[in-house]
Structure 1
Amino acid sequence: MIVALPLLIAFGTRVALKPEEINLLSCEEKKYSTEILSIDPLIIYINDFIFDKEIDYLMKLGKRVSVYKAFKKLFDNDQVRTVDKPYRSSSSAFLPYEDPVCQCIGKRALDFLGFVEHKAHERLQLVRYYPGQEYNLHSDWLYNPKVSRSPGDEGQEYNRLGSFFTYIGGNSTGGETYFPFVNGASLTADPTKYAISSNGQGLLVKPVKGSALFWMNLHPNNGTGNDKTFHSGLPVHSGVKYGMNLWTKHYKSTPILGPYESKEDRKFEPEEAHV
């Protein structure tokens, strides 16, 4: 459990918390359900992945530390594989590791991975789409390893193993997440969550507040990027779409598939066993 803090440090700004927000900062178990949408690549829909109070907190945190003023448009840095350039008209901003609520959400994502490598993740990233904005076809996995600047693994090279994209609101129309190289939903699938493309090809997932998509970016046998994970954020027709990215890390020297043994899982061995 993470101890509640009276102040947070974010982008060099001290953020005073209200009493009801302090009570939120202990990690609470979240019950959710899942649906497997694809095996290759592995794509899982997670119903109710995040609490409404966590969403409210993140939105308030963003405003309080002027995250939305810090939102910026990003263009191709020759790392992410893309089809069109410039490829993104939406905006994004990263949240601080030090924030306890962000840490709780990160822990929930890592726990979800079970025996798959789950040592660490990148900073949570908020994204915002206004009407007409989109993110063209791209992959989350990287051409070249990134060098971590995070506490705990600074200097280590990694690629993006898994992606969690959580929808956190905005009441938008359009803005579906589209995987063109994945089999789509059936005609009997829940229309509030899935759509059918005009050409009948690919998987279309609608933004539903509180739910998330998870997918594996890398091939588990060799750690190379899976081209079938190419996806796009389709244009928003009306309203504003807010989302949150969380990318888990794969280190080249670490096996992707476990069993993964955390420090908490290791059994105590008495000293006499080593005599």
Structure 2
Amino acid sequence: MFRIFVIATLPLLFVFSSEIFSFLSGVLCPSCNCNSTKPMARIPRPQLRPEFLALENGTDATLECEEDGYRMHVFSREPLVVYFEDFVSAKEREHLLDVSEKIYMPSTITHNGGKTSDRNTKVRDSEVALVPRTEEVRCIERRARAVQGWREEVWIERLRVQKYNPGGHYSHHFDWSSGRGGWGRVSSFMVWVDGEELEGGGTEFPRLELRGDRKKWCKFIECGDEVVSEDVKTAEVRKGVVFKVIPGNAVYWENFKSDGTGRGYNETWHAGLPVKKGIKIGLNIWSYGRID
């Protein structure tokens, strides 16, 4: 009898295999949305929490900020990755170091869309400071917002300064989670604040491809001896890149595709490599909002 039942159900399993797989994927791994092509189900905008978001107010127009002096270079178009020279000035870097020095806390790892967190130094070994929104900090917020074109329903998260002592690191991870309901961390800046006498500590994107002349990028990425020869093909595609720690410079990337599915970019898988010598200070600028 059981054998007859199994034989009878096999055609049904074959016909509905894709639906069954999709259902099980959603149950077992709700954040695994990378391969989904279905439009995401949108929910109303979550409540905006000023303790986590740098919400604008009527006084922002009165800020007296330094004139932007950065230079930008498009590293990748899909996903969009942009490199900035001099994104924060020497004066701004000094201010960030001053306001963060006495408020560092051990860094934690968040789970379940930020509902829970724990400390695991095998994954993330650093200290973090949620910096106060001084005028200098708000000017950096405004600059990061302007880079993104003042997008509708996108807000800068409160700025966080990260401190990595020798051995400090952050293993490979995504900044985005599931993007459930059409809301999530839509973009990221990694800004280097300090690390003049540093060894190691670069930011690695092992899945990101560099197209074009790698030799011209060696000013900003780790190249080693691979581009010494003049015979290197400038159009060759190479996968994997490590951005050097250059104080004042920054790299920006988009976390989600804009195809309506809410899928995150696999290429944004990245890590803060271990610091071998010295201290690395970085600034995270994340943007939260509606996934387009």
1:196 aligns with 2:230: no
The equivalent of 2:58 in structure 1 is: none
Aligned residue type for 2:201? G
2-side partners of 1:28 and 1:37: how far apart? 26
The equivalent of 1:36 in structure 2 is: 74
Structure 1 residues 67, 191: CA separation in 2 closer, same or farther (over 3 Å shift)?
Answer: same
Relative to the length of structure 1, the TM-score reads 0.69
Structure 1 residues 238, 33: CA separation in 2 closer, same or farther (over 3 Å shift)?
Answer: same
CA deviations 1:46-82 (Å, max 9, x no partner) are: 010011101111111123xx213xx2131342448xx
Aligned residue type for 1:188? K
Contact 1:111 1:118 in 2 (8 A): no
Contact 2:195 2:246 in 1 (8 A): no
Poorly superposed stretches of 4+, deviation over 4 Å: 115-118, 197-200
1:160 to 185, 197, 203: 185
SS of corresponding position for 1:196: coil
The equivalent of 1:136 in structure 2 is: 171
CA deviations 1:160-213 (Å, max 9, x no partner) are: 111011100122111111111111475413434111389964011101000000
Q: Which structure 2 residues correspond to residues 116-131 of structure 1 after superposition, within 5 A? A: 116-117=151-152, 119-131=154-166
Structure 1 residues 115, 181: CA separation in 2 closer, same or farther (over 3 Å shift)?
Answer: same
SS of corresponding position for 2:109: coil
Greater relative CO, 1 or 2 (CA 8 Å, sep 6+)? 2
2-side partners of 1:198 and 1:145: how far apart? 44
1:180 to 198, 206, 229: 206
The equivalent of 1:109 in structure 2 is: 144
The equivalent of 2:109 in structure 1 is: 75
- In the alignment of these two chains, the number of paired residues is 211
Aligned residue type for 2:191? T
Structure 1 residues 118, 43: CA separation in 2 closer, same or farther (over 3 Å shift)?
Answer: farther
Relative to the length of structure 2, the TM-score reads 0.65
Between Structure 1 and Structure 2, which shows a larger proportion of helix residues?
Answer: 2
1:228 aligns with 2:255: no
CA RMSD of aligned residues (A): 2.7
Note the residue ranges of structure 2 that are not aligned, 5 or more in a row: 1-50, 52-62, 115-119, 227-237
Identity %: 30
The equivalent of 1:170 in structure 2 is: 195
2-side partners of 1:118 and 1:189: how far apart? 36
1:245 to 281, 284, 287: 284
The equivalent of 1:49 in structure 2 is: 87
2-side partners of 1:88 and 1:78: how far apart? 17
Aligned residue type for 2:157? E
Contact 1:184 1:196 in 2 (8 A): no
